[in-house]
Structure 1
Amino acid sequence: MPSRVIFGASTRHQLAAELERLGLKRPLLLSTPQQVGMVANLGATLPQVAGYYGRATMHTPTHITEDALAQLQSLNADSLVALGGGSTTGLGKALALRSGLPQIVLPTTYAGSEMTPILGETQDGRKTTIRDLRVLPGTVIYDVELTLGLPVLISASSGMNALAHAAEALYAPDANPVTSLMALDAVRALARSLPRIVQNPSDLSARSDALYGAWLCGTVLGAVGMSLHHKLAHVLGGSFDLPHAESHAALLPHTVAYNAAGVPEVMRQLAGALGTDTAAAGRYALNGRLGNTLALRDLGMPESGIEEAADIAMEKPYPNPVPLERGRIRDLLACAWVGASPQE
């Protein structure tokens, strides 16, 4: 993907120079409500800003995008700077799609969305996805220091979200040797770094390793197609407003188990990268070690939603290593709803 990546420690201080290099003078700075202080500190390092928008929301609801777009137009901004995780990055992408303005992203989580030309938007309880180079950020500034304040539980679930990208990249219909190498290295990097972060959230080396893994995961997510796991994650987010990263983490062992029989060599590689006997059980065990929520019911999904989610997942066909069967998907969701061990 044609993005410029700046990676290291204290790299956020290169934002002003990057805006100058691009000839941009009036950025609109985006954040979630929880990160308005952080984005204000970032804006103070710039010679000029058009303004701030601090209402980025999970799953990129279109009414928030329209509100931000009105402010963007009133301020006559010439660019977008997004500081945060998938919520803020998603808003920046949605605004870029509608305005044509260039984007710079400074990630604070391991979501990986910043490396993809993919935008997921939610309207009327349904989340839809588009793939369009117009939403791909032009510059991504990875500053490991921005992840030091990421709470342990969010770090853990965000890291498992990234691992989902790597897993599905390995059995994507358009996978290739390069994306597969990147995906496996990402799994190794995250498997060794996330437990260290849980033990010591200030471990800069572990944080850097995790951010490197997240960059790899985002890169492969943007390069190849995704399958059942990402479809179900979008259903849970768009239709039930479940937290994005936590839903990915809870689902991942079960979607891997669903596909295990269809791609045994990929499962062997995934298990090897994790250092476990099987891929699905290894991810379930890693979730437990990291303290992630194992059950969808504990994330707010109603039991009645199992049938609805299975129906939505079957509405539009999409590539998957094994056939998509409503009954099996329903059983997968039921298992994930109670947080039981995955059924291979």
Structure 2
Amino acid sequence: MNNSLAFIHDTLPQKVMFGYGQSSTFLKQEVELRGSKKVMVIAGERELEIAQKVTSDIEVALWYDEVVMHVPIEVAERARQSAADNGIDLLVCVGGGSTTGLAKAIAMTTALPIVAVPTTYAGSEATNVWGLTEAQRKTTGVDLKVLPQTVIYDSELTMSLPVDMSVASGLNGLAHCIDSLWGPHADPINAALAAEGIRALNEGLPKIVADPHSIDGRDQALYGAYLAAVSFASAGSGLHHKICHTLGGTFNLPHAQTHATVLPYVLAFNAGDAPEAERRAAAAFGSDTALEGLQRLREAVDAPQRLSDYGFSADGIEEAVEVTLEKVPANNPRPVTKENLSKLLEAALNGEDPAVLSASHTLI
């Protein structure tokens, strides 16, 4: 029997600049290095004050604040037109996943370079994945043009992120790690990155809950979120993300909270059919099983519990299943059917113990 390693791994070309309180200095360096003269800064109203601080040492040609969750196509088209009308030569996005997503939507059709300055743990800044919503359907794809060329991580910028949003966003990052262990292009390199991401987020998030101004906690969470995103960009979108993209695009559920809620159910669903991935995740959590480690973390940080808390209802399960089944990766560890996916969503809707999904395949 041949036990040799065999895989193909892509490493994305991206500069990462990491340092507490260094964002404005880093950004000035990047703008000067590129010789950029027409900078468009994308930041929602909530991030405006942070963005003004980050950009204090550069000239801004255009401020743009129409940031909408899940990036509706009409919002993307207006932003693209504004960039063209103003002769923009560099995009700087300051904010979370929706803000980065809008910058990607512009870059997708213009090939403009992006410098991303994340203020959450969403991870979009480290992937070449784009997402657009049209007619209540969210479409995602991969394009190297949308990959931010530089990412500036400064945990000082996350200090004002409320604890509950920090938790939801961090668990969204953790979902990138878990999905990367069995994604369509999972390999030993992105699995190693994912495991370290799990370890860092598992360490950082409880510190943020205990002390929202913990630099170490915020640093660990940002570091973990970056590793999560890099592994996810390589491994590709697995079952968890296919479900959550459906829930977000079709039912307009909040992105981070949806990921945080659904994650234990997908982990419980797949873990028994992916023993190596399960062992790696368990070791990263420092627990006997991956689900035990995740649930221990979720309890420690008071994680979101039920999809019903965010506007989803039983009436939506049939449509969610129909849309998701069209997108399920062929290599998902466990076969996905209308029946077992309906059970998974029902459990997540009501906040049932996710262990019921792994106890016996005959249950679902």
TMscore range, shorter length: over 0.9
Aligned to 1:28: 40
Q: Could you state the TM-score of these two structures normalised by the residue count of structure 1?
A: 0.97
**Correspondences of 1:12-23 after superposition (within 5 Å):** 12-13=23-24, 14-23=26-35
Counterpart CA distance in 1 for 2:21 and 2:278 is 38
2:258 is aligned with 1:244: no
Q: Which residue of 1 aligns with 2:343?
A: 331
**Larger displacement relative to structure 2 (274-283 or 64-73):** 274-283
The amino acid that maps onto 2:99 is: T
In structure 1, the partner of 2:236 is 225
Conservation of the 8 A alpha-carbon contact between 2:27 and 2:55: no
Match of 1:73 in 2: 84
Name the CA distance, whole Å, in 1 between partners of 2:298 and 2:322: 27
Note the C-alpha offset of 1:57.
1.3
Separation in structure 2 between the aligned mates of residue 59 and residue 285 of structure 1, nearest angstrom: 30
Please tell me whether residue 116 in structure 1 is matched to residue 96 in structure 2.
no
* TM-superposed deviation, 1:317: 4.6
Segments of 5+ residues of structure 1 without an aligned counterpart are none
Partner of 2:142: 131
Amino acid corresponding to residue 101 of structure 1 in structure 2? L
Q: Deviations over 1:228-272 (max 9, x none)?
A: 100001001000111101000000000011111210221122122
Matched, 1:179 2:190: yes
The partner residue of 1:99 within 101, 110, 125 is 110
The alignment partner of 2:224 has SS state of: helix
Q: 2: CA distance between counterparts of 1:173 and 1:54?
A: 35
- CA-to-partner distance for each residue in 1:194-223, whole Å, 9 max, x for gaps? 011001010001111111111100111111
Aligned Cα root-mean-square deviation (Å): 1.3
**Residues 316, 152 of structure 1: alpha-carbon distance in 2 compared, 3 angstrom cutoff:** closer
In structure 2, what is the equivalent of residue 88 of structure 1?
99
Aligned with residue 145 of structure 1, among 137, 148, 156: 156
How far, CA to CA, are the matches of 1:125 and 1:281 in structure 2? Answer: 35
TM-score (ref. length: structure 2): 0.91
How many residue pairs were aligned? 343
User: Identity of counterpart residues, as a percentage?
Assistant: 41
Matched position secondary structure for 1:304: helix
What amino acid sits opposite 2:335 in the alignment?
P
- Match of residue 173, structure 2, among 162, 175, 180: 162
| SS of the residue 1:110 aligns to | coil
Contact 1:281-1:341 at 8 Å conserved across structures:
no
Greater shift, 235-244 or 7-16, is seen at: 7-16
Aligned to 2:285: 274
Residues 293 and 299 of structure 1 are in contact (CA less than 8 Å); yes or no, is this contact kept in structure 2? no
Aligned equivalent of 2:74 = 63
